[in-house]
Structure 1
Amino acid sequence: MFSKHRRPSELIVRAGFATEQAVYGMLLVAGMIVAASAHGGTSAEVLVTVVVTVLVFWAAHVYAGTVAHHGLEEGHNVGLGEAFRMSLHATWGMLLSAIVPCVILLLGTLRVFPDRLAGWLALISCIVTLAVLGYVAYQRRGAPLHLRIIGALVTAGFGGLLALLKAIIH
């Protein structure tokens, strides 16, 4: 069951979202938004590019994790199915990280937002999410508030660099 020190929502965030794969996925999504919109792509084109790219990279990570874990590990024989499940669990955050920016791009596709605004909002959502991920990472380590904020700013800074690149390209 759940630890009495952690709420179920905390466990879900930690297991799926506040992971290395989620940070990597968010940087991948932000980069793809910049690259796909650099050529004047519509929200639909950017959305398709992001979804396909994230799925391909996620599948590659699942495959690599399965291969890496299959066999003898720490004196325990890990079967192919178990290795696959371990890899799925470890890479879940990469898919989760794409949800918010993809929903925003979908809203652009549905003309709730103009294409250009949808691209910027999706990119901004990546930056905000990166800030949250950085903050959570430092919070989990028990860091004081000022270090959590620095962690959030540095992590968001990577997304900010991609936003700057988008602005320069346009």
Structure 2
Amino acid sequence: MDEPHAHSAPARSRSFRESLITEESVYGTILVSGMIVASGSHQATLVETFLTVVGTVVVFWAAHVYAGAVAGHGVIEGDQTTLPTAFRRSLRRSIGFLISAVPPCVVLLLGAFRIVPDQFALWAALWVGVFILGILGYSAFALRGSPWHIRVFGCLGTASFGVAMILLKAFIH
């Protein structure tokens, strides 16, 4: 393991949380919301929207992992980081990108399988994105030990990106 504190259970739990509370998680959530908005503006079915979102997320995630591995592999003179180590670090750092995409995609699937109406699924998936962004913003400040009011501002600030996507969808339609 790369970190010296990674052997204890609390350290592993914190490390996992820190792997999820990243800019990649925020970016992945906003990407999903953007793809939902874009697919909806093209009158795509929910199955098409789901497939477009999942395909786009996987390609962006793979490109992000690749770029992180290349950028983290011996780019600084004297750095002896091996390519496999750089790849593992990039993979670990980027896992939030994928995980943050799962809840909105599940909501899209509920619509695709006709469990909920299409429009409800689209709007609910966007609101799930807002919720995820809020949690990410709050959690980022909580991990740093910020007071509760700063955590709330972090929550609202980060969630505002999801609200911006909702406003974009509302204006496009």
Asked whether the two chains share a fold, i.e. TM above 0.5, the reply is yes
Please state how far the C-alpha of 1:2 moved relative to its aligned partner. Answer: 2.3
Equivalent of 2:18 in 14, 27, 30: 14
1:69 aligns with 2:72: yes
Q: Show the counterpart of 2:97.
A: 94
1:111-130 alignment runs, 5 A limit = 111-130=114-133
- Secondary structure of the residue aligned to 1:142 is coil
Quote how far apart the aligned CAs of 1:84 are.
1.5
Equivalent residues in 2 for 1:8-157 (5 A)?
A: 8=13, 10-15=14-19, 17-71=20-74, 73=76, 75-157=78-160
* 59-68 or 125-134, which deviates more: 59-68
Secondary structure at 1:77 match in 2:
coil
How many residue pairs match? The answer is: 167
| TM-score normalised over the length of structure 1 | 0.91
Residue 26 of structure 2 aligns to a residue whose secondary structure is helix
Deviation at 1:75, TM superposition (A): 3.9
Backbone CA RMSD of aligned residues: 1.7
Of residues 156-165 and 85-94 in structure 1, the stretch that sits farther from structure 2 once superposed is 85-94
Q: What residue identity is the alignment partner of 2:169? A: K
Unaligned runs of 5+ in 1: none
Q: Distance in 2 between matches of 1:82 and 1:100?
A: 30
Looking at structure 2, the residues matched to 55 and 141 of structure 1 have their Cα atoms a distance apart, in angstroms, of 30
Q: What are the ranges of 5 or more consecutive residues in structure 2 without an aligned counterpart?
A: 1-6
Say yes or no: does 1:161 pair with 2:161. no
Q: What is the CA distance between 1:54 and its match in structure 2?
A: 0.5
Task: Work out the CA distance in 1 between the residues paired with 2:8 and 2:116.
Answer: 41
C-alpha displacement at 1:86, in angstroms? 1.6
| SS of match in other structure, 1:128 | helix
- Quote the offset at 1:7 in angstroms: 7.9
Counterpart secondary structure, 1:71 = coil
Partners of 1:93 and 1:65 lie apart in 2 by 14
| Alpha-carbon distance in structure 1 between the residues aligned to 2:12 and 2:93 | 20
Q: TM-score, normalised by structure 2?
A: 0.89
